[in-house]
């Protein structure tokens, strides 16, 4: 049975102090418990109320510095949007989660928590957008940016590998050859004459 007195008490507390977390949490729990007991029209209306309450609760949790609670509430909002087929709403929730996760300062949760928040938000954005048959220009740009950020670590490792190879192998050979370019090191022994070739790459000139 719906308890209107409890419902009204939450609203009364929120009207007196909009930042009252206990009232927002109570109202969210109220909607979660009673929305399933209503008819189809009532459930749809309560779903909108619950989504609005989740957004208000998440905003105040973030304002209170509770990023972990904010992430939990935003994840509930994302799931609601996905279940109702509101992909734009799901993406909006995930974008907000990623923005908060990327801006989380050191000391906000553990380092592992911050990495997990970023990873889950990026993965969620990719998952939701990849299921859409058509994407807007803005969504295409978002998808490309998030995909790049997910794959950036292997690229950095590859660059690091190239730098290590240069410092440990190519540069010593270069110096042993009197400081001439690496192209001279690779010259075949069968060459009977010294051929000088100029190779240009942007603003750099290499001669062998």
What pLDDT score does 144 carry?
86
List CB contacts of 173: < 8 A, sequence separation 6 or more: 182, 185
Residue 196 has pLDDT above 50, yes or no: no
Residue 190 has which token pair? Answer: 């069968």
Region of poorest pLDDT, from 103-107, 120-124, 145-149, 164-168: 164-168
Residue 125 has pLDDT above 80, yes or no: yes
Domain residues of the chain, as ranges? 4-188+196-207
C-alpha to C-alpha distance for 58 and 205, rounded to whole angstroms: 57
**Higher pLDDT, residue 103 or 191:** 103
| Torsion angles phi and psi, residue 201, rounded to 5 | -135, 95
Q: Residues of the chain with pLDDT > 90: what percent?
A: 29
C-alpha to C-alpha distance for 57 and 93, rounded to whole angstroms: 13
What pLDDT score does 2 carry?
47
Question: What average pLDDT does this structure show over 180-185?
Answer: 49
In contact, 43 and 35? CB cutoff 8 Å: yes
In contact, 44 and 70? CB cutoff 8 Å: no
What pLDDT score does 159 carry?
60
Give the residue among 68, 56, 72, 67 at the shortest CA–CA distance from 21. 56
pTM listed for this prediction? 0.64
What pLDDT score does 80 carry?
92
Question: What average pLDDT does this structure show over 95-123?
Answer: 86
Average pLDDT of the chain to the nearest whole number: 76
Residue 134 has pLDDT above 80, yes or no: yes
């Amino acid at each position: 049975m719906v308890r209107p007195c409890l419902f009204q008490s939450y609203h009364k507390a929120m009207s007196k102090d909009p930042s009252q977390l206990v009232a927002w949490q109570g109202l969210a729990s109220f909607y979660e418990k009673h929305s399933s007991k209503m008819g189809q029209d009532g459930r749809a209306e309560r779903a909108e109320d619950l989504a609005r309450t989740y957004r208000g609760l998440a905003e105040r949790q973030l304002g209170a510095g509770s990023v972990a609670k904010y992430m939990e509430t935003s994840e509930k909002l994302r799931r609601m949007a996905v279940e109702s087929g509101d992909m734009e709403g799901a993406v909006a929730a995930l974008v907000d989660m990623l923005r908060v996760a990327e801006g989380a300062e050191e000391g906000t949760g553990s380092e592992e928590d911050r990495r997990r928040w970023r990873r889950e938000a990026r993965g969620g954005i990719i998952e939701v957008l990849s299921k859409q048959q058509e994407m807007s220009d803005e969504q295409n740009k978002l998808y490309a940016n998030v995909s790049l950020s997910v794959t950036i670590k292997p690229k950095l490792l590859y660059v690091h590998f190239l730098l290590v190879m240069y410092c440990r192998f190519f540069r010593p050979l270069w110096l042993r050859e009197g400081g001439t370019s690496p192209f001279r090191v690779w010259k075949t022994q069968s060459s009977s004459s010294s051929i000088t070739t100029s190779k240009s790459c942007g603003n750099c000139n290499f001669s062998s």
